[in-house]
Amino acid sequence: MSDAAPTVYLRNICLAYQNQVLFKHMDFCLPGAQTTCLLGRSGLGKTSLLKLIAGLTGKHPDANRVASDGKPLVGRIAYLSQTNPLLPWLNY
């Protein structure tokens, strides 16, 4: 059994924000053990896509997320927002 990072596939995902469709019926692949950059102007859905991948949207989080090794993604994906919600008291 390998501990290598699996490729994560997103299949037929749809996302809307404030009644605006950001994307629909999109397939997306994140290769394991590689760095991927989401780049674009504000409001395109980059953060929303990351929350969807991390299962933080609250709407059937695993329905369209599949790891190449077939194991659940729960506990294998980390998400840290642009703000400092983990240690709000820490000044740096």
pLDDT (tens, 9 = 90+) of the chain, 92 residues, equals 456 778 888 888 888 878 888 888 888 888 888 888 888 888 788 888 888 777 777 665 555 666 667 776 767 777 777 776 667 777 76
What residues does 17 pair with on adjacent strands? 20
Pick from 35, 33, 28: nearest CA to 65 = 28
Q: Does the predicted TM-score (pTM) go above 0.85? A: no
- The pLDDT of residue 13 is 82
Residue (of 62, 78, 68, 74) closest to 4 by Cα position? 68
Q: Residue 28 forms beta bridges with which residues?
A: 10
Show the tokens assigned to 78: 């980390």
Q: Tell me the DSSP string of 76-89.
A: T-----SS--S-TT
Q: Domain boundaries in the chain? A: 1-92
pLDDT of residue 59: 61
What's residue 11's pLDDT? 82
pLDDT for the residue 1: 47
Q: Helices in the chain by DSSP H: which ranges?
A: 46-54
